[in-house]
Structure 1
């Protein structure tokens, strides 16, 4: 892994607008409308944090969602209530990670409210859904200024970005999945059934916001 950073964490929610209100009221984190994922039946709101972000992911078209792997996974997962369901690592070079793990890369897109289209390549999503202690990988096909974390918004909490993620799982297996250079990533690994169990957000005050 030549270069890696945590790109975003995914908070699966049953009600996108309701979840956004709770984040603002409870933590001082504002959200912006992201868009709908073409062909997946899902949509998102974004909590921009600079170089990374929190993605609120929900089903927006249940019929379409039943026809996509991500949509079906989200429908099943949300039976247990809103919770962290995944995390994503941006890697460069992307193809090096894909080849090392024998993954299949795919392209995704969503249309932003201003009409522009965000495009990216991702890999390992199915593996990450099966074992949420593992991240999936992403490479953005847009200029850095268009990264979702760079979206302008006012947060009462003045967040400075994701500080860490915490997962339960097999540490050796997770480190192998991340590959060389994994020490760059602020990942806490605890024993237990595979899961993403927490994410910390640094703030200008020095306090941390913890999502669980």
Structure 2
């Protein structure tokens, strides 16, 4: 299992970037706009092939025809809302709502394309899968300095949910919690902290 990225959604991108920098000691950069989806993002590398995506509504885009991905429309406080696992065979996991195409216009005008399972649109504690094809992982160009130490899921039914994750090949710690939640332990210049 290779975690491709974690999704941290916020109502305002600049505020979220500043908050993550204050907490962990590295400033997110890069990213760009998800044209037609009404979101924009900034990135931080968490390892050689893993990154943190900070995503928020993009005030420079018109309201999208469909809800923004990752439940961004309803986000009032920033937090981890989803996670992606890398796959070279996206069709193998197409039962997670089908496979859709994604794209992002980078800040330097390059159009990146990828394929992902449709459960990415709602995100949550069930991971979605992503295949970058010939596109290099965004982790390679995102600001470095942070390391993803671990990911865990909190769930009211940890035993049952752990079985679901194992079926998907997502081998992470599942603990009892009052509501489903993702928790990532990340280390960096400002020490080691949990991000929820």
1:182 maps to 170
Answer yes or no: is the 8 Å Cα contact 1:86–1:196 preserved in 2. Answer: no
Report the TM-score, using the length of structure 2 for normalisation. 0.83
Q: CA deviation at 1:43?
A: 0.7
Task: Summarize the alignment of residues 121-132 of structure 1 with structure 2, pairs less than 5 Å apart.
Answer: 121-125=115-119, 128-129=122-123, 132=124
Q: Is the 1:7–1:53 contact (alpha carbons within 8 Å) kept by the matching residues of 2?
A: yes
How many residues are treated as equivalent by the alignment?
A: 192
1:79-118 equivalences in 2 (<5 Å) = 79=76, 81-98=77-94, 101=95, 103-118=97-112
Q: Is the 8 A contact 1:41 1:63 kept in 2?
A: yes
Deviation, 1:209, is 3.2
Q: Indicate the RMSD between aligned Cα atoms, in angstroms.
A: 2.6
Deviations 1:150-181 (A, max 9, x none): 1153x5xx32x322212122443453355264
Q: In structure 1, list runs of 5 or more residues that go unmatched.
A: none
Match of 1:69 in 2: 67
Is residue 210 from structure 1 mapped to residue 186 from structure 2 by the alignment?
no
Q: Aligned equivalents of 2:176 and 2:118: distance in 1?
A: 22
Further displaced range: 49-58 or 173-182: 173-182
Q: Distance in 1 between matches of 2:13 and 2:185?
A: 21
Residue in structure 1 matched with residue 12 of structure 2 by the alignment = 15
Q: Is the 8 A contact 1:128 1:136 kept in 2?
A: no
- CA distance in structure 1 between the aligned counterparts of 2:85 and 2:91, rounded to whole angstroms: 13
Secondary structure at the residue paired with 2:193? strand
CA distance in 2, matches of 1:69, 1:174: 29
Among 122, 142, 167, the alignment partner of 2:153 is 167
CA distance in 2, matches of 1:18, 1:96: 38
Matched, 1:150 2:140: yes
Q: Which has the higher helix share?
A: 1
2:40 maps to which residue? 43
What is the TM-score when the length of structure 1 is the normalising length?
0.78
Q: Secondary structure at the match of 1:179?
A: helix
Change (3 A) 1:173 1:45: same
Aligned to 2:130: 138
Task: Tell me if the contact between 1:118 and 1:141 (Cα under 8 Å) persists in the aligned partners.
Answer: no
Aligned CA distance change for structure 1 residues 138 and 102 (closer, same or farther; 3 Å): closer
